[in-house]
Structure 1
Amino acid sequence: MAADTPIRVVLADDEALLRHGLRVLLTASGRIDVVAEAGDGAAAVAAVREHRPDVLLLDVQMPGTDGLAALRELAHLPVAVAILTTFDLDDYVSRALELGAAGFLLKDADPDTLIRAVTDLAAGGAVLDPRITARLLPRLRGAGLSLRRAQAIDSLSVRERQVLDQMADGRANAAIAQLLGLTEATVKSYVSQVLTKLGVHNRVQAALLVHGVDVLAEDRR
């Protein structure tokens, strides 16, 4: 995406007032274009298919088709999805991760955090609000990190581990490339290798593994 190309966003939440507030905050940045709003999961899926946004901010608990059902339908479309949530984290967190959510944002995030998160998501990064991380990790860590996954982390090369650590901080490929003195194409290759070796589907899951959390259901069956 060119630096001067607006980031296209769809907002999906059943609270019209919240959607309005988010729209105002995002468009005020001058770098983000809210192309559609949706009040339920079915409308969110339709909006994504019609407008092909870069980012979808998606509430889970909506009437009718909920956010998880929408996320499942959107799994194969090239859109970065961040879950809009409150501190009332529930079992949907791990399920959303399995379905490919690229991050979690609190609905009361300050404007700078929100804009930075959308920018990072559009660039391929992962987003975990620090306040969510503090609440999320103790709840998920109880599931434990499987021996196989721990061994997979240990098997990473020095460079792969460096890339993983930067991914865990939510950085996108371009930022990782700059920090590590690599080309963006090289970083993309490392990211693919890391995800494959760890047996995870996306960058958020990789980040949680760094914190000792195994969020994939296949290890808890």
Structure 2
Amino acid sequence: MRAEDGGGPIRVVLADDEAMLRRGLRVLLESGGTIRVVAEAGNGDELLAVARTHRPDVALIDVQMPGKDGLSALRDLALLAKPPVAAVLTTFDLDDYVTDALRFGAQGFLLKDAEPAVLVRAVHDLAAGGAVLDPRITARLLPRFRGTTDNAHEKQLVEALSARERQVLLLLADGRSNASIGSRLGLTEATVKSYVSTVLSKLGAQNRVQAALIAQRVAGDFR
């Protein structure tokens, strides 16, 4: 069980080829006692090995690592019997890999220079089932995806959602977990989970991050 369920610290694996960065992140994340870094990895092969051994709740993954890179590791993590929730640790140079990262199941994009409280909260949100997008990353992603998607079609898809489904989508787009959405709307977590699955299906989104980006592209018409 995870700390979010009252069952102990959230178990995290850090994957980055810079040992000093991993050390700093470990100290930062473990400082509050609700997160425990159970393993570190310097490349994708090491990440897969420690993920199999430690079965973490959350994996924070740098994309640019020697040998097996973060994208390849993301793809292979999804094949594990109990894959962790994965988020990409990045700088601003997103363009070359963000589409593949989404396709391979990334549930979040976090900047390495984010404030400590932001990173800690992000790990909690990921463990609870939320999608995490640093606002500075969102600002970069939206213009990129506006040029490659049909916003009119996406608007039609969102318009076709029920009023309750749109409420769930907009809260999901704010990075809220199922439990947080349920608390806000007076719904059980199981009911929210069902709504989220329906919303993803209706939008043709593979995961919560893709749904969040769709919502943020057309949100002005529905808030």
**TM-score above 0.5, yes or no:** yes
Q: What TM-score do the two structures reach when normalised by structure 1?
A: 0.92
Mapping 1:162-181, distance limit 5 Å: 162-181=167-186
Instruction: Give % identity.
Output: 67
| Greater mean deviation of Cα atoms: 42-51 or 59-68 | 42-51
Map of 1:43-82 to 2, 5 A cutoff?
A: 43-77=46-80, 78-82=83-87
| Contact 2:60 2:87 (C-alpha < 8 Å) held by counterparts | yes
Q: Is the 8 A contact 1:40 1:65 kept in 2?
A: yes
Distance 1:11 1:82, change over 3 A: same
- 2:149 maps to a residue whose letter is G
Distance in 1 (alpha carbons) for counterparts of 2:10 and 2:50: 15
**After superposition, where does 1:101-140 map in structure 2 within 5 Å?**
101-140=106-145
Contact 1:83 1:105 in 2 (8 A): yes
Q: Is the 8 A contact 1:60 1:68 kept in 2?
A: yes
Is this contact kept in 1: 2:86–2:106, CA < 8 A?
A: yes
String of CA shifts for 1:113-158, please: whole Å, max 9, x gaps.
Answer: 0000000000000000011111221122211236544332211000
Q: Please point out which of 208, 212, 215 is paired with 2:213.
A: 208
Q: Which residue is 2:97 aligned to?
A: 92
TM-score by length of 2: 0.92
Map Cα deviations across residues 7-36 of structure 1 (whole Å, 9 max, x no partner).
000000000000000000011111001000
Q: Please name the residue that 1:5 is paired with.
A: 8
Flag structure 2 segments of 5+ consecutive residues without an equivalent.
219-223
Conserved? CA contact 1:12–1:41, under 8 Å:
yes
- Residue 13 of structure 2 corresponds to residue 16 of structure 1: no
For structure 1, the residue ranges without an aligned partner over 5 or more in a row are: 214-221
- Taking only aligned residues, the RMSD between alpha carbons, in angstroms, comes to 1.3
Distance in 2 of aligned mates of 1:145 and 1:207: 16
1:4 deviation in Å?
4.5
AA at the equivalent of 2:17: D
Instruction: State the AA in 2 paired with 1:68.
Output: L
Runs (4+) of structure 1 exceeding 3 A deviation are 146-150
The one-letter code sitting in structure 2 at the alignment partner of 1:89 is L
Q: In 1, Cα distance between the equivalents of 2:177 and 2:65?
A: 30
Question: For the residues of structure 2 that align with 1:177 and 1:211, how far apart are their CA atoms?
Answer: 20
